[in-house]
Amino acid sequence: MSTKRAFNFCAGPAALPTPVLEKAGLELADWHGKGLSIMEMSHRSADVVAVCDKAEQDLRDLMAIPDNYKVLFMQGGASSQFSMIPLNLMTGSGKADYIVTGQWSKKAWQEAKRYGNAVVAASTESNNFSSAPSQAELVLSPDADYVHYCPNETIGGVAFDYIPDTGDVPLVADFSSVLLAEPLDVSRFGMIYAGAQKNIGPAGLCVVIIREDLLGKAQACTPTMFDYKVCADNASMYNTPPTYSWYLAGLVFEWLKDLGGVDAIAEINHRKAKRLYDYIDNSGFYANPVAIANRSIMNVPFTLADSKLDKLFLQESEAAGLLNLAGHRSVGGMRASIYNAVPEEAVTALIDFMADFARRNG
């Protein structure tokens, strides 16, 4: 099959691998000869449970998730986790540290303040979120219930180049835009979560990976659907889970495994990002504002020499089949999100277009 596909640089919902969409298309109305769609089947049926279990196992294999961690498939995107985390975990001292490096970690902190003493352990807002703080700059409280941070800020394209050391305090991380992009030592974290629509699957689904000893600590008022222990005890099927999204995530995990896993995709991701940053830095026309050490390998914001050219750039890039290059509405400029499913040819085509545009307008 050869589906005609544009190059999609959307930050989210983002590109999905073409082979995954083709397989889902073939199976849409008649899944494995059963005469119905997977999305029309009971979530309690053996078939759906097998699909869901396999997705979890493939994710465990891809990330080498230790046995003392639960994998939960939850709903409400990553943003619902901003409430679930304090409800479930800010229950010892009632205090938690938040590292603020962009709009997502700021939102997480603001939401947590509704539930307890959410303290800013470091913030880079004063430099317009263009870097991440060093370990030495983190002001951590030894009695915090957890430390929260966002390893890859999707809007600013700002990434940590290290995993914060929080001693015995559990580290909670919003990996929405960088999960499965490169290898990760899960054992360094109390909890990892990621909204699916960047590197995993359709929007709405959120993957949560949580150490077992952090379950069962939720505040009494926690909504049943928001309680990690309830979710874990019911294998993420306390209510009807988003079975189709879960199935699609499973197809993405299979695709990634076939490709050689996270090590293989990481090599491609680093090559894609390096080529784009190198081009931007040497262009004399485009610029990226992020500190070199903190540049994201997934989200690459850039500005043009003259912002009056932005509109033309977006019109012409779209006409050339390079879609969704506008920066976030809050920051303007451009942003190319080059997630796992964005092929290397897309980056080549983007650089060629950028060079041609600069030649004609520089």
Supply the residues annotated as catalytic: 104, 174, 198
We find the least distance from the C-beta atom of residue 85 to ligand PLP, in angstroms, to be 12
Rounded least distance, CB 115 to ligand PLP, Å: 18
Q: Between 150 and 214, name the residue whose CB sits nearer to ligand PLP.
A: 150
The residues pairing with 299 across neighbouring beta strands, listed in sequence order, are 337
| Distance separating alpha carbons of residues 92 and 97, to the nearest angstrom | 13
Indicate the residue among 190 and 195 with the shorter CB distance to ligand PLP.
Answer: 195
| Residues facing 206 on adjacent strands | 74, 195
- 154 annotated to a ligand binding site: yes
The answer on whether 44 is annotated among ligand-binding residues is yes
Alpha-carbon span 180 to 199, nearest angstrom = 7
Is 104 annotated as a binding-site member? yes
Report whether 324 belongs to an annotated binding site.
Answer: no
Which parts of this chain interact with ligand PLP (CB under 6 A)? Answer: 12, 77-79, 104, 150, 154, 174, 176-177, 195, 198, 203
By beta-carbon proximity to ligand PLP, the closer residue of 177 and 303 is: 177
HEC sequence for 134-197: CHHHCCCCCCCCCEEECCEECCCCEECCCCCCCCCCCEEEECCCCCCCCCCCHHHCCEEEEECC
For residues 233 and 229, give the distance between their C-alpha atoms in angstroms, rounded to a whole number. Answer: 6
Q: Are strands 334-337 and 286-287 parallel, antiparallel or unpaired?
A: unpaired
Give 71 or 178: the residue with its C-beta nearer to ligand PLP.
178
What is the distance between the alpha carbons of residues 296 and 136, in angstroms, rounded to a whole number? 21
Q: Establish whether 24 is an annotated binding residue.
A: no
* Burial class of residue 184 (count of CB atoms within 10 Å of its CB; 0-12, 13-18, 19+): buried
What are the backbone angles phi and psi of residue 234, rounded to the nearest 5°? -105, 20
Q: How far is the CB of 205 from ligand PLP (least distance, A)?
A: 8
Question: Cα-Cα-Cα-Cα dihedral of 74, 76, 78, 79, to 10°?
Answer: -140
Provide, rounded to whole angstroms, the least separation between the CB of residue 33 and ligand PLP. Answer: 34
Give the span between the Cα atoms of 142 and 359, in whole angstroms: 55
**Toward ligand PLP, which CB reaches closer, 195 or 333?**
195
Q: How far is the CB of 182 from ligand PLP (least distance, A)?
A: 16
Please tell me whether 197 is known to bind a ligand.
yes
* 271 is known to lie in a ligand binding site: no
79 assigned binding-site residue: yes
| Residue whose CB is less far from ligand PLP, 96 or 358 | 96
Question: Nearest to residue 196, comparing CAs of 241, 231, 156, 259?
Answer: 241
| Shortest reach from residue 278's CB to ligand PLP, in Å | 25
Q: Among residues 78 and 251, whose Cβ is nearest to ligand PLP?
A: 78
Shortest distance, position 172 Cβ to ligand PLP, whole Å: 12
Give me 360's structure tokens: 């004609």
The three-class DSSP label of residue 23 is helix
121 Cβ contact partners less than 8 Å away, ≥ 6 residues apart: 97, 98, 99, 138, 139, 140, 141, 147
Annotated binding site for pyridoxal 5'-phosphate: 78-79, 104, 154, 174, 197, 239-240
Annotated binding site: 44, 78-79, 104, 154, 174, 197, 239-240
Annotated binding site for L-glutamate: 44
